C-alpha cells in the first residue's frame, strides 16, 4: 500500500504540468451549484470521497428514505468494501450453472450461463453490497404526531461544489434549522453540523437506523430490508461505538458523541446535543475497526475540494450564444463531481456508483472504460489508478480463470464481487471487457511516461494481451483468425452460441494487441510473435451494402429493424478507440448516417450510447453531429438537477413523459456521466494527430471556448 501511495504521488506530480491558470475555476464551478427549494425526489444530493458516499434529502440527512426510494432516487450510505453473503449449504459452484457451447474448432466447453438455476441464482446474488443504514433527523413534534416531509417548510438547500459541502436551511414548526453535511476526503466519515433552537430544547436529535440490508429479491434499485431484526446485530459496545454484524460482515459505527438506544425500536440509536446548546456537531465513521478519534473535521473537506477543482481540466463557455452552451458546461461540472465522489474506491464501482445498488452491487468490468477512462484526461490519473490497482491485486484470480478455459494469460470476469468470481448469466460470454486494461494502462502511462509506470503495469498489460491473443482461433479454411463463438457482443441481442466476428471487438483486439507490443518495446522486450501473427491475419471488419454491421455471422443490421436497438457498437471501432488500418472512414461515415437515421432511439438505448456516438462523429470531423447527439433529449439521456441520468425503463417512453411515470429500473446510471466526460475530453482535447483546436466544437460563430488542462486521447 505504501508503494501504491508513492506511485500516486508521482502521478499527481506529472498531472500538475497540465494544470491551467487562466479560467476562474471557482466562478466556473459555483455557478452550477445545485439548489433545491422543495422536497424533490429527483434531487437528493451526495457527498463522498470516491469509495464511500452519503446521499441526503432536503433536510441534509436521510430523514424520508422510503419516499425518495418510491418516487425518485434512494437515500443510502454505501462503500465499496462492505459486502454480505448468504450461507451456501448446497455448496454451489460455477460449474453447477454450466451450459455447453461449441467453439469454432468443434470442441465443447461449459460456461456458467444458467442464471435461473438454484446455483445460478445464489451465485448472482452473492456476495452483494451492504448499505450501512440511515442517518436521519428525529423531531419530537409538540403535538405528538409523526414527523413527515410535509413538516419541512421554507427549504433552501445548496450543494457547494467548490467546498464539497451541502448546506440545508428549512423550518420545522416555524423554527429555523440549518444543517451542514460533508464527507471527509480520506476516511469514511460523515461530518454534520446542526444549528437550531430545537437542538437546544432537546426536541431535535440525530437517529441512526440499521436495516438487515437490501431486499435480496430485487436486482436493481432494491429497497431496504427491515424484516427479521433477530437475524443481525447492532450492539452498543460503548457510548460511541456500535458494532454491526450481518451476513458474515462485521463493521463498526464510530460516533463523536454519545449514542443511546432508541426505546422499543431495534437497531436504532439516538444522538442528542447538549441541553441549552443550539449547535450539535457530529461525526459518524464506518470502518472495519473501532475508533475513538473521529471528529467532524470540516477544515479537511474545505482544503480538499478547491484543490481537486484546481487540478481538473476545465472548460468555460461563458460568452457563447449557442443555447446548448450552458447545458454542456453544467453537465460537465456536475458529472466531474459525481464521478469523483462515487467512482474511485478500493474496488471498482458498480454502474449506479455509491447512490444505490444495481446488479447486487457487482462491478461490471466491461463498463470500466466508461467509468474511469476520463479521470486522467481531466487531470486526475490517481483516480483511475485506484481502479486499476484492484486489477493488479486480482491477477492470480484472472490467471486461474484463463487456465480453466484453456487460455493463456489473465482472463477478466465480467460481473464480479470483491473476489472477482464470475456471476452466472450471459456474463461469461462477454469479451469486450478484456482489452480495457491495456487501454487504461496506456492512459496512465501517458499521464506519467516513466519507467516506474511501465514496471507497475507491465505484467498487467502482458497477461491481459496474451489472453486476448489466445481467445482467437485460426480458421484454416480462410487463413484468418476469428473471434467466437461462443460470444455475447456489445450489442446484447444476438445468439451467444453462434455469434462470430463482431465489428467493434475485432477492431479493439487489433489495436490493443498492437499497443501491448509497444509496451514490450518500451520495456526493452522483443515483440510477441503470436500477437503479431494475430494482428496480421485477423478477420476484416464485416461490411454489407457499404456499411459496417454488428457482426459477420448475422449481418442483418440494416435489413432487420428488430436488430437496430441497444448499443450501435459498430461505431465504437472509430470513436472510443483511434483509427486503425482496419477501419475505412467512408464506410464509417455511412454507418454513422445510418445510425442517426434508422436506429431505434426510444427502446433500450443506454446513457453511454449518446456520448459513444458523439465520439465517432468527432473523429469523423462532424462536430455539429457530436454536440447534437451528446445533448439531445432521449429516454436515457435526461440529466436531473443533481447531475444524475436515470435509466427510465427497458421499454419505450415518450421523451416528454413525466419522470415519475414508471418506477425506474436503475435510479441513477454513472456510465452515462463517465462516457459524457470522455466524449467532451475528445471534443476539447483532441487526439494524437488531430488538427485544429477543440475539434469537437462547431466553428459556426456561436461558441466561445476557454479550455485548459487537457490530455489528448490516443
Full set of structural domains in the chain with CATH: 40-85+132-304 (2.70.98.50)
Residue 111 has pLDDT above 90, yes or no: yes
- List residues bridging with 287 in a β-sheet: 252
Using 50, 70 and 90 to split pLDDT, how confident is the model at 651?
A: very low
Residue 6 has pLDDT above 80, yes or no: no
**How far is the C-alpha of 139 from the C-alpha of 136, rounded, in Å?**
10
- List residues bridging with 192 in a β-sheet: 181, 282
CA 452 to chain centre: 28
Instruction: Check residue 649 and give its pLDDT.
Output: 57
Strand runs (DSSP E) across 91-219, as ranges?
Answer: 99-102, 108-111, 128-129, 134-139, 152-160, 165-172, 175-183, 189-195, 204-209, 213-214
**How far is the C-alpha of 41 from the C-alpha of 252, rounded, in Å?**
30
Q: Percent of the chain, pLDDT > 70?
A: 97
Q: What order of strands is seen across the sheet that includes strand 77-79?
A: 45-48, 52-56, 77-79
**How far is the C-alpha of 432 from the C-alpha of 502, rounded, in Å?**
10
What secondary structure letter does DSSP report for 539? Answer: P
Residue 657 has pLDDT above 80, yes or no: no
SS3 375: helix
Using 50, 70 and 90 to split pLDDT, how confident is the model at 117?
A: very high
Question: For the residues 222-237, what does the mean pLDDT come to?
Answer: 95
**How far is the C-alpha of 392 from the C-alpha of 377, rounded, in Å?**
21
Three-class DSSP labels, 467-521: HHHHCEEEECCCCEEEECCCCECCCCCCCCCCCCCEHHHHHHHHHHHHHHHHHHH
Instruction: Check residue 661 and give its pLDDT.
Output: 47
Using 50, 70 and 90 to split pLDDT, how confident is the model at 650?
A: very low
Using 50, 70 and 90 to split pLDDT, how confident is the model at 16?
A: low
Instruction: Check residue 203 and give its pLDDT.
Output: 97
Q: What is the largest CA-CA distance in the chain?
A: 87
**Contact present, 473 and 553 (Cβ < 8 Å):** no
Residue-by-residue DSSP string for 28-85: HHHTT--EE-S--TT--EEEE-SSEEEEE-TTSS-S-HHHHHHHS----EEESS-EE-
Instruction: Check residue 256 and give its pLDDT.
Output: 98
Instruction: Check residue 12 and give its pLDDT.
Output: 74
Q: Which of 549, 541, 537, 542 is nearest to 473 (CA)?
A: 537
Residue 407 has pLDDT above 50, yes or no: yes
**Contact present, 134 and 69 (Cβ < 8 Å):** no
State pLDDT tens for residues 464-493: 999 999 999 999 999 999 999 999 999 999
Question: For the residues 403-409, what does the mean pLDDT come to?
Answer: 97
Question: For the residues 679-693, what does the mean pLDDT come to?
Answer: 96
Instruction: Check residue 11 and give its pLDDT.
Output: 77
Q: Which of 566, 573, 569, 602 is nearest to 587 (CA)?
A: 573
State pLDDT tens for residues 539-579: 999 999 999 999 999 999 999 999 999 999 999 999 999 99
Instruction: Check residue 665 and give its pLDDT.
Output: 82
- List residues bridging with 282 in a β-sheet: 192
Q: What are phi and psi of 476, to 5 degrees?
A: -65, -25
Q: Percent of the chain, pLDDT > 90?
A: 92
State pLDDT tens for residues 283-323: 999 999 999 999 999 999 999 999 999 999 999 999 999 99
SS3 100: strand
- List residues bridging with 647 in a β-sheet: 666
Residue with cell 476557454: 706
Residue 17 has pLDDT above 60, yes or no: no
**How far is the C-alpha of 233 from the C-alpha of 253, rounded, in Å?**
12
Sign, CA dihedral 149-69-77-309, equals negative
Question: For the residues 675-679, what does the mean pLDDT come to?
Answer: 98
Average pLDDT, the chain: 95
Question: For the residues 604-619, what does the mean pLDDT come to?
Answer: 96
Question: For the residues 75-80, what does the mean pLDDT come to?
Answer: 98
Instruction: Check residue 8 and give its pLDDT.
Output: 78
**How far is the C-alpha of 269 from the C-alpha of 695, rounded, in Å?**
56
Instruction: Check residue 107 and give its pLDDT.
Output: 94
Alpha helices in 104-220 (DSSP H): 118-125, 197-200
State pLDDT tens for residues 496-541: 999 999 999 999 999 999 999 999 999 999 999 999 999 999 999 9
Residue 186, judged by CB atoms within 10 A of its CB (0-12, 13-18, 19+), counts as exposed
Question: For the residues 194-215, what does the mean pLDDT come to?
Answer: 97
**Contact present, 618 and 575 (Cβ < 8 Å):** yes
Amino acid at each position: 500500500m505504501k508503494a501504491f501511495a508513492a506511485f500516486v504521488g508521482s502521478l499527481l506530480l506529472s498531472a500538475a504540468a497540465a494544470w491551467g491558470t487562466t479560467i476562474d475555476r471557482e466562478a466556473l464551478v459555483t455557478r452550477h451549484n445545485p439548489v433545491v427549494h422543495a422536497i424533490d425526489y429527483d434531487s437528493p444530493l451526495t457527498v463522498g470521497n470516491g469509495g464511500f458516499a452519503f446521499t441526503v434529502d432536503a433536510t441534509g440527512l436521510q430523514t424520508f428514505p422510503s419516499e425518495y426510494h418510491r418516487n425518485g432516487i434512494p437515500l443510502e450510505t454505501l462503500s465499496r468494501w462492505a459486502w454480505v453473503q448468504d450461507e451456501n449449504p448446497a455448496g454451489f459452484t460455477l460449474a453447477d450453472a454450466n451450459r455447453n457451447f461449441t467453439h469454432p474448432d468443434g470442441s465443447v466447453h461449459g460456461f456458467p450461463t444458467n442464471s435461473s438455476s438454484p446455483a445460478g441464482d445464489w451465485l448472482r446474488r452473492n456476495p452483494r453490497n451492504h448499505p450501512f443504514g440511515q442517518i436521519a433527523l428525529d423531531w419530537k413534534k409538540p403535538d405528538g404526531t409523526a414527523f413527515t416531509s410535509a413538516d419541512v417548510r421554507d427549504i433552501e438547500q445548496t450543494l457547494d461544489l467548490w467546498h464539497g459541502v451541502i448546506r440545508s436551511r428549512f423550518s420545522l414548526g416555524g423554527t429555523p434549522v440549518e444543517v451542514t453535511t460533508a464527507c471527509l476526503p480520506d476516511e469514511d466519515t460523515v461530518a454534520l453540523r446542526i444549528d437550531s433552537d430545537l437542538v437546544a430544547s432537546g426536541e431535535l436529535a440525530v437517529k441512526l437506523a440499521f436495516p438487515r440490508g437490501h431486499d435480496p429479491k430485487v436486482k436493481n434499485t432494491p429497497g431496504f430490508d427491515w424484516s427479521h431484526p433477530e437475524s443481525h446485530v447492532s450492539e452498543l459496545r460503548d457510548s460511541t461505538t456500535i458494532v454491526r454484524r450481518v451476513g458474515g460482515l462485521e463493521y463498526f459505527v464510530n460516533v463523536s458523541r454519545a449514542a443511546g438506544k432508541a426505546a422499543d425500536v431495534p437497531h436504532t440509536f439516538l444522538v442528542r446535543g447538549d441541553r441549552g446548546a443550539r449547535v450539535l456537531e457530529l461525526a459518524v465513521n464506518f470502518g472495519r475497526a473501532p475508533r475513538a478519534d473521529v471528529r467532524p473535521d470540516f477544515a479537511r473537506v474545505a482544503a480538499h475540494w478547491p484543490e481537486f477543482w484546481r487540478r481538473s481540466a476545465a472548460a468555460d463557455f461563458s460568452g457563447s450564444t449557442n443555447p446548448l452552451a450552458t447545458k454542456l458546461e453544467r453537465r460537465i461540472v456536475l458529472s466531474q463531481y459525481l464521478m469523483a465522489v462515487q467512482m474511485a474506491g478500493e474496488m471498482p464501482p458498480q454502474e449506479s456508483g455509491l447512490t444505490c445498488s444495481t446488479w447486487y452491487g457487482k462491478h461490471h468490468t466491461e463498463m470500466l472504460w466508461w467509468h474511469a477512462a476520463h479521470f486522467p484526461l481531466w487531470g486526475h490519473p490517481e483516480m483511475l489508478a485506484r481502479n486499476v490497482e484492484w486489477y493488479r491485486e486480482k491477477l492470480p484470480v484472472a490467471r486461474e480463470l484463463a487456465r480453466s478455459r484453456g487460455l493463456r494469460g489473465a482472463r477478466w470476469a465480467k460481473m464480479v464481487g470483491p473476489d472477482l468470481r464470475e456471476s452466472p448469466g450471459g456474463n461469461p460470454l462477454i469479451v469486450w471487457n478484456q482489452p480495457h486494461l491495456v487501454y487504461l494502462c496506456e492512459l496512465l502511462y501517458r499521464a506519467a511516461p516513466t519507467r516506474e509506470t511501465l514496471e507497475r503495469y507491465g505484467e498487467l498489460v502482458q497477461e491481459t494481451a496474451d489472453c486476448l491473443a489466445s481467445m482467437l482461433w485460426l480458421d484454416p479454411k480462410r487463413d484468418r483468425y476469428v473471434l467466437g463463438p461462443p460470444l455475447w457482443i456489445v450489442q446484447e441481442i444476438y445468439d451467444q452460441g453462434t455469434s462470430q466476428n463482431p465489428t467493434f471487438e475485432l477492431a479493439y483486439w487489433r489495436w490493443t494487441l498492437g499497443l501491448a507490443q509497444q509496451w514490450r518495446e518500451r520495456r526493452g522486450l522483443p515483440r510477441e510473435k503470436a500477437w503479431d501473427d494475430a494482428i496480421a491475419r485477423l478477420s476484416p471488419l464485416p461490411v454489407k451494402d457499404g456499411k459496417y454491421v454488428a457482426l459477420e455471422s448475422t449481418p442483418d443490421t440494416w435489413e432487420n429493424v428488430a436488430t437496430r436497438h441497444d448499443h450501435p457498437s459498430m461505431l465504437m471501432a472509430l470513436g472510443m478507440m483511434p483509427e486503425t488500418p482496419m477501419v475505412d472512414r467512408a464506410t464509417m461515415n455511412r454507418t454513422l448516417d445510418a445510425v442517426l437515421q434508422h436506429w431505434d432511439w426510444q427502446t433500450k438505448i443506454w446513457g453511454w450510447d449518446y456520448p459513444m456516438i458523439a465520439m465517432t462523429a468527432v473523429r469523423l470531423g462532424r462536430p455539429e453531429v457530436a454536440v447534437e447527439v451528446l445533448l439531445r433529449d432521449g429516454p436515457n439521456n435526461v440529466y436531473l438537477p443533481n447531475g444524475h441520468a436515470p435509466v427510465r425503463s427497458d421499454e419505450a417512453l415518450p421523451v416528454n413523459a413525466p419522470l415519475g411515470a414508471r418506477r425506474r429500473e436503475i435510479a441513477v446510471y454513472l456510465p452515462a456521466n463517465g462516457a459524457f466526460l470522455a466524449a467532451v475530453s475528445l471534443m476539447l482535447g483532441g487526439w494524437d494527430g488531430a488538427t485544429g483546436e477543440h475539434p469537437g466544437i462547431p466553428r459556426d460563430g456561436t461558441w466561445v471556448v476557454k479550455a485548459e488542462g487537457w490530455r489528448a486521447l490516443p
